[in-house]
């Protein structure tokens, strides 16, 4: 009911695709079968494939794709399943029904997680996989190799969703060694299953891009994008080679995502978890936010929060990595209360956890919603205007020379199939057309950012036997200038 209510509120207010990543995930799933050359290759690189595979069956329907709901359904299902797994896991870890309910309250009542599960985002899928791994590990001691295999399967699900799970493979393996009666056998089973994810993705990148690390150091990788920005004069990300600052930014994002009460209770709850000897579950839950601290330190990931330099919003949702730790902490606090009072304690803890959102109930207090609004204002403006111009003028088969990413939102909004677009995923032909548009470009339209490869190609076609004209330009503060070009002769 909570999931459905949040999805309804998000959709009715038009918030579903405010995140740029949500738009991208939706369109990657769509292009698997809606492209000039549909098929497996359209999964691409950089972003891991499981979210897109889960969304693909739903976004085949045009209405589900255009509204974004095709990408929401599997994510919302993972939020519901993740809540169930968090309940079962914490109930098992602390041998307490109240502990399970307390953990579920932390999970289910968080408005930031409710908003993320109402959009085509990967965080709820990853958190579901994490909750499943914790639940499976809690049963390994008595259940043997089957539960070790389950822990490996949930970790595998995570490794195909977000890269932090690659870091968690040795942590999960060590956890199995700590709790299993058949340590080496069960650890091998869990590690072998979980490692299949990274091995598959390395092979995928090797076969399709001739570089097994294309997702890490290729042209569109976060590392390469950051290096190009640094070469252009951008200041280093906060926390680069500074452990204290990295911890400060991750902690700030976690506090904004969880709320002050839950963030403070997490500290007390961690101590209670140690007292209750929940060592393995605690170590696993600490490892997830620790990954982000290390990532900031190594400049692999930026997190910007409004009250710290550069005083803006970017990747604040990464603070949700602390959600499993918060759920564990709340469960430990409930379990630490005498048995006859635990039900009441779980209720009081739930009320404390949601108190910030009751005091300030509007979405302005939901940091993930606010981040998506602030960072999408310009993109939403030019997407709407460009779609209103292009939609009634474009005729099927004319073709649109463009790049993928945010610009694909124009086609979705205008109701133009992605196969009408000619973008860089069709790499050799696209690159050839960008380099020699005079002879190789057959499309009648182009959508570009000013200064990109498409725009440069169009500038060369202002004169000559096949001329193009820039018919619209959209300049919005804080966003790149978007150009629409049309063949005129």
Give the closest residue to 391 by CA, choosing from 423, 409, 407, 413: 413
Least confident piece of the model among 17-21, 70-74, 300-304, 327-331 = 300-304
Summarize pLDDT for 122-164 with one digit per residue, the tens: 999 999 999 999 999 999 988 889 999 999 999 999 999 999 9
Q: Which residues pair with 468 in a beta bridge?
A: 487
Summarize pLDDT for 221-233 with one digit per residue, the tens: 888 888 888 888 8
**Do 152 and 189 meet the contact criterion of CB atoms below 8 Å apart?**
yes
Kindly report the backbone phi and psi dihedral angles of residue 376, in degrees, each rounded to the nearest multiple of 5, phi listed first. Answer: -110, 0
The owner of tokens 């005129």 is 488
Helix residue ranges per DSSP H, 337-469: 342-359, 367-390, 408-414, 427-435, 437-440, 453-460
Identify the three-state secondary structure at position 378.
Answer: helix
Over residues 105-128, the mean pLDDT reads 98
pLDDT for the residue numbered 426: 79
Rounded to whole angstroms, the Cα distance separating 300 from 91 reads 36
Residue 489 pLDDT greater than 80, yes or no = no
**Do 448 and 483 meet the contact criterion of CB atoms below 8 Å apart?**
yes
pLDDT for the residue numbered 65: 98
Residues whose CB is less than 8 angstroms from the CB of residue 395 and which lie 6 or more positions away in sequence, other chains included:
none
The owner of tokens 């968090």 is 86
Rounded to whole angstroms, the Cα distance separating 341 from 424 reads 61
**Domains recognised in the chain with CATH numbers:** 2-359 (no CATH), 373-487 (3.40.47)
The owner of tokens 């049963």 is 139
pLDDT for the residue numbered 121: 98
**Do 353 and 262 meet the contact criterion of CB atoms below 8 Å apart?**
yes
**Do 284 and 175 meet the contact criterion of CB atoms below 8 Å apart?**
yes
Report the C-alpha dihedral over residues 387, 391, 392, 394, rounded to 10 degrees: 130
pLDDT for the residue numbered 427: 77
Q: Which two tokens stand for residue 137?
A: 């590990």
Would you mind telling me the total number of residues written for the chain in this entry? 489
Residues whose CB is less than 8 angstroms from the CB of residue 250 and which lie 6 or more positions away in sequence, other chains included:
289, 292, 293, 296, 303, 318, 319, 321
Instruction: Tell me how many degrees the CA angle 51-54-55 measures, rounded to the nearest 5.
Output: 85
For 12-158, strand residue ranges (E) read none
Rounded to whole angstroms, the Cα distance separating 50 from 267 reads 33
**Do 16 and 68 meet the contact criterion of CB atoms below 8 Å apart?**
yes
Kindly report the backbone phi and psi dihedral angles of residue 268, in degrees, each rounded to the nearest multiple of 5, phi listed first. Answer: -65, -40
- Could you tell me the strand order of the sheet in which 445-449 lies? 421-422, 400-401, 445-449, 482-487, 468-474
Query: How far is C-alpha 58 from the geometric centre of its chain's CA atoms?
Result: 18
Identify the three-state secondary structure at position 336.
Answer: helix
Mean pLDDT across the chain: 95
Helices and strands per DSSP (H, E), number in the chain = 23, 5
pLDDT for the residue numbered 134: 97
**Do 172 and 137 meet the contact criterion of CB atoms below 8 Å apart?**
yes
pLDDT band, very low/low/confident/very high, at 405 (cuts 50, 70, 90): confident
Q: Which two tokens stand for residue 351?
A: 């009320």
**Do 191 and 149 meet the contact criterion of CB atoms below 8 Å apart?**
no
**Do 133 and 158 meet the contact criterion of CB atoms below 8 Å apart?**
yes
Rounded to whole angstroms, the Cα distance separating 395 from 445 reads 10
pLDDT for the residue numbered 415: 96
Find out whether the peptide bond into 310 is cis, omega within 30 degrees of 0. Answer: yes
Instruction: Tell me how many degrees the CA angle 328-334-338 measures, rounded to the nearest 5.
Output: 145
Summarize pLDDT for 478-487 with one digit per residue, the tens: 899 999 999 9
Give the closest residue to 442 by CA, choosing from 396, 476, 487: 487
More confident residue, 424 or 448: 448
Q: Which two tokens stand for residue 299?
A: 């400049």
Summarize pLDDT for 191-229 with one digit per residue, the tens: 999 999 999 999 999 999 999 999 999 888 888 888 888
């Amino acid at each position: 009911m909570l999931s459905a209510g949040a999805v309804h509120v998000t959709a009715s207010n038009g918030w579903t695709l405010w995140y740029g990543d949500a738009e991208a995930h939706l369109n990657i799933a769509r292009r698997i079968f809606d492209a000039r050359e549909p098929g497996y290759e359209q999964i691409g690189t950089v972003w891991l494939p499981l979210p897109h595979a889960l969304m693909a069956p739903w976004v085949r329907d045009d209405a589900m794709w255009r509204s974004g709901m095709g990408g929401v359904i599997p994510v919302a299902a993972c939020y519901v399943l993740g809540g169930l797994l968090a309940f079962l896991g914490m109930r098992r870890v602390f041998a307490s029904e109240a502990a399970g309910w307390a953990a579920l309250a932390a999970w289910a009542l968080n408005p930031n997680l409710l908003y993320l599960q109402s959009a085509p985002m990967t965080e709820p899928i990853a958190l579901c996989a994490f909750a499943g791994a914790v639940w499976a590990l809690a049963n390994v001691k008595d259940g043997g190799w089957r539960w070790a295999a389950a822990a490996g399967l949930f970790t595998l699900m995570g490794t195909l969703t977000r890269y932090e799970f690659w870091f968690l493979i040795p942590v999960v393996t060590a956890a199995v060694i700590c709790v299993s009666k058949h340590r080496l056998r069960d650890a091998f089973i869990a590690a072998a299953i979980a490692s299949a994810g990274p091995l598959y993705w390395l092979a995928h990148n090797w076969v399709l891009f001739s570089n097994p690390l294309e997702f890490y150091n290729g042209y569109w990788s976060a590392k390469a994008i950051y290096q190009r920005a640094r070469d252009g004069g951008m200041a280093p990300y906060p926390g680069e080679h500074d452990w204290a600052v990295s911890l400060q930014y991750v902690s700030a994002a976690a506090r904004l995502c969880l709320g002050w009460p839950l963030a403070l209770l997490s500290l007390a709850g961690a101590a209670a978890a140690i007292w209750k000897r929940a060592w393995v579950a605690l170590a696993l839950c600490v490892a997830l936010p620790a990954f982000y601290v290390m990532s900031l330190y190594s400049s692999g990931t930026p997190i910007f929060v409004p009250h710290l330099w550069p005083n803006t919003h970017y990747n604040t949702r990464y603070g949700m990595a602390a959600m499993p730790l918060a759920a564990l902490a709340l469960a430990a606090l409930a379990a630490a209360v005498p048995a006859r009072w635990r039900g009441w304690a779980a209720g009081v803890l739930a009320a404390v956890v949601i108190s910030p959102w009751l005091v300030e109930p509007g979405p302005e207090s939901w940091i993930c919603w606010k981040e998506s609004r602030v960072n999408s204002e310009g993109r939403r403006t030019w997407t709407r205007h460009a779609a209103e111009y292009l939609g009634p003028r474009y005729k099927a088969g004319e073709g649109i020379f463009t790049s993928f990413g945010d610009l694909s939102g124009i086609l979705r909004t205008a109701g133009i199939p992605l196969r009408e677009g000619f973008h860089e995923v069709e790499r050799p032909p696209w690159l050839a057309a960008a380099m020699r548009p005079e002879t190789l470009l057959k499309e009648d339209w182009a959508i570009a950012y000013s200064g990109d490869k498409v725009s440069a190609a169009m500038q060369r076609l202002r004169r000559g036997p096949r001329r193009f004209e820039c018919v619209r330009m959209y300049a919005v503060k804080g966003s790149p200038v978007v150009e629409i070009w049309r063949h005129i002769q």
